[in-house]
Amino acid sequence: MADLYPLTAPRVDAQGGELTQISVQLAFNQLTAAVRLALNQIGSGGTFNNPTIVGGTIDGSVIGGLVPEPGSFTTLTVNGALLSGASGSAQVGFLQSGSGAVLRTVQSKEKEDISADDFGAVPDWNGSTGTDNTPAMVLALASGSKLIRLQAKDYFFASGFTIPDGVTLEGQSMVPGKVPTGTRLIFANGVATCVTLTTGSNLQTACLKKVVVTRVGTPPASSTGIFIDRAYNVVLQDVYSLNHARLYSFFAFQAGGLGAFLTTCFGSSCTENYFYFNNWPECRVVGGRMGSNTADVAGNAFIYITGTDNTGVSPGIGPNTLCFEQVQFNQGVAGPSYWVEFDSVLPAQGNQVVYLFDTCHVENITSAYIKTTSTAPYLQRFRTVNCDLNTNVPLFAVDAATQVNQCNFSTTYIAGSVTLATNSLINRLTFNGVEFGGAVSITGAAIQNNMQAIACFFDAGVTFAGVWSSLVAKGVGTCTVTATKFNTGSYIDINVSGKIANTSGNVIVGQSGVAASVTGTLSETTLASVVIPAGMLGLNGVLRITALWSATNNANTKSCVYRLGGTPICSTGITSFASYQDQRNMRNRGALNSQINFVGAASFGSGSGVAPLATAIDTSVDKTLTLTAILTNTSDTVTLEGYTVEILPG
């Protein structure tokens, strides 16, 4: 009768095309259920011939008699192999759904994925104690498998470990909440470096995915969560590093370099620097947030950039390329001092270096966005696009010896002030479509500096000062200009809400052909006024005034007076003329507060017994030019028929 119910070897099929992973215990349960079914058909006292399980035994006894109670089997052998033993899963079949699928054993299927648990790891951290999983992790990483998996549980490690070349360590999940959950790697407090990617040889690579890397207690100084050491195309994806002095650290020599790619990575509870770049790494970060909204430590900088040469001497070559896209830098409570800090770093070769920030949000900085020290002589190719720098702190804390070279801020909101007054070069500094929430003051040193600010909004005003080879500014806001040209070939072109400065040619700052008259009073009467913009004349510029007057044609004196900031710079009397055309020139004499003026009756073609008039009018600030008339007889009339006021910058 047993032959009517043959018992074949158990087999597990994948359902609906999805992989069904089973344990050896599941296979054991399925097999024993089939045995019970056969015994029930045989009946009490029957004989089980077991045509397909050769030598099959249950608890070492011949199968027969009454069916044992469920769960009472302790051993089951198939073809001489203990089903719960090392080769038991090799006796259980697996067939994937779909045409052409090939029958395999469960053992071969299960060996597709290697877990640290397979080597003795126990995810039993309870918040204060747990099994040290370092030995198990080291064995798993050295197993030869290219993929090591971890459960979504808490694993404790008393020591750090290194992910070798070509290996991916992947957790089951990472949820970046206020308290991140998922696969958590929890290290002892004193561990200097928790996870290292590759063994420090150039052109090696490794991956870390879906894990939280943290430690117990307050981080020691210079302790590191994740360290990428001279690797090539390393990938970090869905990773959260927290509670370390340095969350993500990168190092590479110039020879060989380093390439790292981070996607949706997070960080918080950082006592020093979120990103620490040393020497020549190249790194690209897309998505994620650095900082959290919970009470946290302040830290020094979100991004810290330094350099050592190949012998470990500072300063050395800095990073090759650092790109951050759609990253939020926002420590909600107790933010870091700086966004980016450059310290002990020389520039990379030529135009290879770039620091690019695209669609990033930066908030709760406490000191300044960009800092350089005296050992960082170059701020080079720093660029923002579509960014919000949303805290009211200065954009720059740049050392006076630092050269600012080829830096560009485009379609960016800068909430804080911008003050740049270095003793060194400002070269190709550009602001395009930027809104400045704070006051802006840019001062060029006495060398060939050049910058542009185009289509900008200066909400709290802007001041351009110093010496420039090329200075161009166009936008909206209050503006003060005391900037001067470096030499005769230099160029200053400013138009900010009508504040015009242009040293490339003459600038007309006021002009009218509408007549204005005075009669019936002996008081000095203003017939026209024009504002002379601050600094626009330059050190050796000329203020030129051309005016056409008409008056009652008699012997009475009718005085025409030109005043700048209330100080007379020239005057003339009209007698026995019906009309009079006058042109006057006030010249700065190598300073913004020293002038010389002609005060004779006519400006050209005649002499005067009166010496030139020296004045000390401060043209570094706005001054109002007034054209006035004074009568000696109330029956007379003086009319200003028209005028032109020009600046010849110099």
Domain boundaries, the chain: 2-110, 508-648
Q: How far is CA 463 from CA 379, 418, 543, 625, in A?
A: 22, 10, 22, 22
* Assessment of whether the complete model's pTM goes beyond 0.85: no
Q: Which pLDDT value is given to residue 17? A: 37
Distances from the Cα of 374 to the Cα of 342, 343, 345, angstroms: 10, 8, 10
Q: Which residue has the tokens 């790494």?
A: 281
pLDDT in tens, 153-204: 999 999 999 999 999 999 999 999 888 999 999 999 999 999 999 877 767 8
Cα(518)–Cα(503) distance, integer angstroms: 36
Residues making up the chain, counted from first to last: 650
Please, what sign has the CA dihedral across residues 573, 576, 580, 584?
negative
The pLDDT score that the predictor gives to residue 125 is 97
CB 36 within 8 A of CB 63: no
Tokens 């019906």, located at residue: 578
Which pLDDT value is given to residue 47? 36
- Distant-in-sequence contacts of 451-458, Cβ < 8 A, 24+ apart: 451/426, 454/430, 456/431, 456/432, 458/496
Parallel, antiparallel or unpaired: strands 579-588 and 542-551:
antiparallel
For position 292, what pLDDT does the model report? 87
As beta bridge partners, residue 550 has 579, 639
Residues 190 and 245: their CA atoms lie apart, in Å, by 12
Token readout for 359 is 């669609």
Which parts of the chain have pLDDT scores under 50?
1-25, 39-73, 350
Smallest Cα–Cα separation from 155: which of 189, 191, 190, 129?
129
Question: What's at 148, amino acid-wise?
Answer: I
Contact (CB, 8 A) for 531 and 622: yes
CATH fold for domain 508-648: Jelly Rolls (2.60.120)
pLDDT at position 35, please? 54
